[in-house]
Amino acid sequence: MHQVPSPPKGWLRQGGGKLLLVGVLLVASLGYFGWTAFRSSTVYYRTVDELLALGERAYHKDMRVSGKLVAGSFQRVPGSTQAFFVLTDPKGEGRLLATYTGVVPELFFNPYSEIVLEGQLQPNGVFVAEQVIVKCPSKYASQPLGEVPQGN
């Protein structure tokens, strides 16, 4: 039977320690990057009511909030891309004033759309959005208001 040779005595002093340290640092950094990528890709969003219930604990924290656009609340500052609007929770009475600077997707105004904002709630009660995501269930897109879609 063949015996596996043992490392030479003093191999840590001859550069083996550096190689071991580099390997440990490489594995640790890959693990850290994998963990942060997973954590940021699984960001949970809150409803308007959930966000408002947090009160001061929500101020200046990056988060996502989901709601429906309150009809007639959208206003754009003349000559700019800054907009103000109000989101509401479909199940509650909470209303959230939000602002966004940028181009708003056309689906934003679809009554079936769910709007997800990424940004921060400020102490003045305004949610400053850095990104707007519009989720529109396509099976409802062509249904007239008041009609219930038939099962597929």
| DSSP, residue by residue, 49-72 | HHHHHHGGGGBT--EEEEEEEPTT
Residue closest to 63 by CA, chosen among 48, 79, 73, 84: 48
CB 100 within 8 A of CB 118: no
* 83-102 per-position pLDDT tens digit: 999 999 877 788 999 999 99
- pLDDT bracket for residue 143 (50, 70, 90): very low
Average pLDDT for the chain? 79
Q: Is the pLDDT of residue 149 over 50?
A: no
Residue 104 DSSP label: P
What pLDDT is attached to residue 27? 85
Instruction: Name the pTM for this structure.
Output: 0.62
Q: Is the pLDDT of residue 150 over 50?
A: no
Least confident segment among 15-29, 46-60, 93-107, 136-150:
136-150
HSE (CB half, 13 Å, CA atoms) of 131? 6
* 109-141 per-position pLDDT tens digit: 777 778 999 999 999 999 999 999 888 665 444
The more confidently predicted of residues 10 and 108 is 108
